[in-house]
């Protein structure tokens, strides 16, 4: 299974290596949105001048994504929240750890990577403690703070490291979080070694 688009898409890979959208998850998200549409939502948000629509390939059936100035992220978040109040939509904001762009993703209400991962575990009757999740930005926080074994890579925003660390400490989870010193995929490998998923170097 592949969870992508900030948790708004779940795909399965068949034996031929082809990727297919899981229709049961599509149906679940459609239940949440109901008769509301992301097209109408975009029209409602056009007047917020600090929002810039992301490229078409970064949009999805259940994801409407924008760029914003990172320095004005909180200001923009507050404006968007005021517009979506009472609608079946939620928002995840983050800062791109590679280029510093402010990012705003509109999704069905309460949907996130954690929502998708929980759905996947229930759908396939998998033990959540079989999961090891790696992340680096604000849109990963929902999973990093959900109790799974988690890796925060070295290039992650410091606020992500702090929030994940505090959440695990407050929840009393021991040994479930590894803050890597290495960046990106090297940090993922470091975390996998920490959790014993792959052998450590001699």
- 94-111 confidence digits (pLDDT tens): 888 788 899 999 999 999
Global pTM reads: 0.87
Three-class secondary structure of residue 71 per DSSP: helix
- Model pLDDT for residues 83-92, shown as the tens digit of each residue: 999 999 999 9
Query: Which helix (H) or strand (E) element contains residue 184?
Result: helix 184-194
Average pLDDT, stretch 186-202? 87
Question: Across residues 171-189, what is the average pLDDT?
Answer: 96
Return mean pLDDT, the chain: 94
Q: Is the pLDDT of residue 201 over 70?
A: no
CA dihedral 103, 105, 167, 70 (to 10 degrees): 20
Average pLDDT over residues 111-138: 93
Residues whose CB falls within 8 Å of the CB of residue 51, separated by 6 or more in sequence, listed in order: 45, 66, 67, 68, 76, 80, 104
CB environment 41-60: b (16+ within 10 A), e (fewer): beeebeebebbeebeeeebb
Strands (E) in the chain, as ranges, are 2-4, 9-13, 19-21, 52-53, 64-68, 89-95, 102-108, 132-135, 149-152, 177-179
Contact 20, 14 (CB under 8 A): yes
- Over residues 23-46, the mean pLDDT reads 96
63-82 pLDDT, tens digit per residue, is 999 999 999 999 999 999 99
As given in the structure block, the two tokens for residue 167 are 């959440």
Phi-psi region of 86 (alpha: psi -120 to 50; beta: other; left: phi over 0): left
Show the tokens assigned to 131. 């999961």
Instruction: Give the separation between CA 114 and CA 131, rounded to whole angstroms.
Output: 11
Instruction: For residues 173 and 149, give the distance between their C-alpha atoms in angstroms, rounded to a whole number.
Output: 9
> Band of the pLDDT at 175, cuts 50, 70, 90?
very high
Confidence of residue 122 (pLDDT cuts 50, 70, 90): very high
Nearest Cα to Cα of residue 84 among 53, 108, 111, 63: 108
| Helix, strand or coil, per DSSP, at residue 114 | helix
């Amino acid at each position: 299974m592949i969870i992508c688009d900030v948790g708004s898409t779940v795909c399965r890979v068949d034996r031929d290596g082809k990727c297919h959208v899981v229709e049961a998850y599509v149906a679940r998200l459609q239940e949440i949105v109901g008769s509301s549409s992301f097209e109408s939502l975009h029209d409602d948000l056009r007047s917020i001048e600090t929002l810039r629509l992301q490229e078409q390939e970064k949009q999805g059936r259940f994801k409407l994504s924008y760029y914003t100035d990172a320095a004005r992220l909180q200001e923009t978040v507050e404006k968007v929240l005021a517009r979506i109040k009472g609608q079946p939509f939620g928002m995840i904001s983050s800062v791109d750890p590679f280029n510093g762009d402010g990012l705003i993703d509109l999704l069905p209400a309460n949907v996130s990577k954690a929502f998708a991962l929980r759905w996947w575990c229930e759908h396939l009757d998998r033990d959540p403690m079989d999961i090891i999740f790696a992340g680096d930005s604000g849109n990963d926080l929902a999973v990093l703070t959900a109790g799974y074994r988690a890796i925060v890579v070295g290039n992650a925003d410091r606020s992500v490291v702090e929030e994940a660390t505090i959440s695990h400490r407050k929840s009393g989870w021991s040994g479930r979080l590894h803050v890597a010193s290495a960046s990106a995929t090297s940090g993922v490998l470091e975390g996998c070694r920490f959790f014993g998923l792959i052998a450590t170097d001699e």
